[in-house]
Amino acid sequence: TEADQSGVWRFREMLHILDDEANIVSLREGNTPLYELRRVAESTGIEHVFAKHQGMNPTGSFKDAGMTTALSVAHELGFDWVACASTGNTSAAMSAYAARAGMRSLVLIPQGKIAWGKLSQAMDYGALTLQLRTDFDGCVRVLNEVVKRAPVYLLNSVNPYRLEGQKTPALEIAETFDWEVPDHLIVPGGNLANSSALGKAFLEMKHLGLVTKLPKISVIQAEGANPLYRSLLSNSGETLEPVEAHTRASAIRIGNPASWKKAVRVIQQTGGYCEQVSEAEIALAKAEIGAEGIGCEPASAVTLAGLKKLIQQGKVQSNEKVVLLLTGHTLKDSDYTIAYHRGDLLKEGEIKDLRPEIELTRRNA
Ligand code: F0G
């Protein structure tokens, strides 16, 4: 079965969530590649930089690792409908896994604010897809009303079973390095479920004695969608003030993140950092990851942009081992890539800093 080939269910002893494994809904997710980024190593002066590419999952994003677990629970509980609000990747993953299980899915997305690749996936997998005239945070509010009134299983990232599945890339990383964890793990921050889940995994591994130390887990946000960054800067993560979010990295255009408290704890317990990066820094970093022959969507590229900042600030040393968590496949948002290489991102005037560097990396001018 697919479950036997799944990189998530391989770690089932760490995920006590199902009564009967016959209920597993799997698309053979996980077991994603870890690439060494040699050009990035050269340009940053960090000897060993790796990319754990969660975009190489069946629906092209890290969401699959958590969707196989949560959807299996929904299936076991006997629900006919599942639902989520999404910036695109969650909805793509949910629709695919629901279709495999013979369930229906309801997707609420912010109109005009998600990448076409992701919208097309939800349609292809047969979801009832509603674009609402609001942002992601508005879609979450509407969905919370819907689930109160209808027998629909909620698959937003507050769902604890999603977090359980999203722990598994951390196990894969530790396993790849023979249980000697890297010094740094750098992840994008949107709704902050991913950083929370990976942190939980490393803490559990340490508790079980599988690893002896923790990687410093750092969370990187886009400048225009930076509520966690602001919170840590102004009051050490005691409270979080929602912001109105704007960034071309539409996956992380989130102003009121659900899992911020967990993410604060993970950063503090692992000794990691939170940084923000500009639109230009994201664009340049994305082109550099593309130039390695790997590629990713804009939201994933914040990790490399963030690494550069942490190096400048002396928070990452040249002999330390760094893993960037790439969350989505480059084909998710091909419009962005084309706009970059045609120079349209520059023309629109949103991107002013780093202009010369960006000109150098454009390859189809
Ligand atoms: N990267 C990508 C490609 C994403 O799709 C998301 C979140 C994130 C990073 C941020 O992860 O929310 O766990 O901090 N996408 C969600 C969605 C919100 O609806 O697809 P996070």
Query: Residue 344: which domain range?
Result: 32-61+166-361
109 and 40 belong to one structural domain: no
Domain containing residue 211: CATH number: 3.40.50.1100
pLDDT at 167: 98
| 92 to 23, 69, 302: CA distances (angstroms) | 21, 15, 21
Residue 16 belongs to a domain:
no
Instruction: Write out pLDDT tens, residues 65-90.
Output: 999 999 999 999 999 999 999 999 99
- Domain end point (choices 139, 159, 179): 159
Q: Using an 8 Å Cβ cutoff, are 127 and 95 in contact?
A: yes
Q: What is the pTM of this model?
A: 0.97
Residue 313 belongs to a domain:
yes
250 and 325 belong to one structural domain: yes
Ligand 1 atom nearest residue 118's Cα:
20
250 and 323 belong to one structural domain: yes
The whole-angstrom separation of Cα 104 and Cα 82 is: 6
- Domain end point (choices 159, 192, 226): 159
212 and 257 belong to one structural domain: yes
| pLDDT bucket at 349, cuts 50 / 70 / 90 | confident
Identify which of 79, 75, 77, 67 has the alpha carbon closest to the alpha carbon of residue 9: 67
Instruction: Write out pLDDT tens, residues 225-276.
Output: 999 999 999 999 999 999 999 999 999 999 999 999 999 999 999 999 999 9
Distance 116 CA to ligand 1 centre (A): 16
105 and 180 belong to one structural domain: no
| pLDDT bucket at 352, cuts 50 / 70 / 90 | confident
To the nearest 10 degrees (0 to 180), the angle between helices 116-124 and 89-101 is 10
| pLDDT bucket at 365, cuts 50 / 70 / 90 | low
Instruction: Write out pLDDT tens, residues 208-232.
Output: 999 999 999 999 999 999 999 999 9
124 and 211 belong to one structural domain: no
147 and 270 belong to one structural domain: no
Distance 88 CA to ligand 1 centre (A): 8
289 and 141 belong to one structural domain: no
The whole-angstrom separation of Cα 6 and Cα 69 is: 11
Residue 141 belongs to a domain:
yes
Instruction: Write out pLDDT tens, residues 130-167.
Output: 999 999 999 999 999 999 999 999 998 789 999 999 99
Q: Among 194, 229, 256, which residue has the most ligand 1 atoms within 8 Å of its CB, making it the best to mutate?
A: 194
57 and 68 belong to one structural domain: no
Residue 8 belongs to a domain:
no
Residue 110 belongs to a domain:
yes
88 and 212 belong to one structural domain: no
Residue 19 belongs to a domain:
no
Distance 209 CA to ligand 1 centre (A): 30
Residue 7 belongs to a domain:
no
Distance 21 CA to ligand 1 centre (A): 28
- Domain end point (choices 93, 125, 159): 159
| 267 to 136, 170, 214, 217, 248: CA distances (angstroms) | 24, 15, 11, 6, 25
Rounded to 5 degrees, φ, ψ at 271 are 75, 25
User: What total of structural domains would you count in the chain?
Assistant: 2
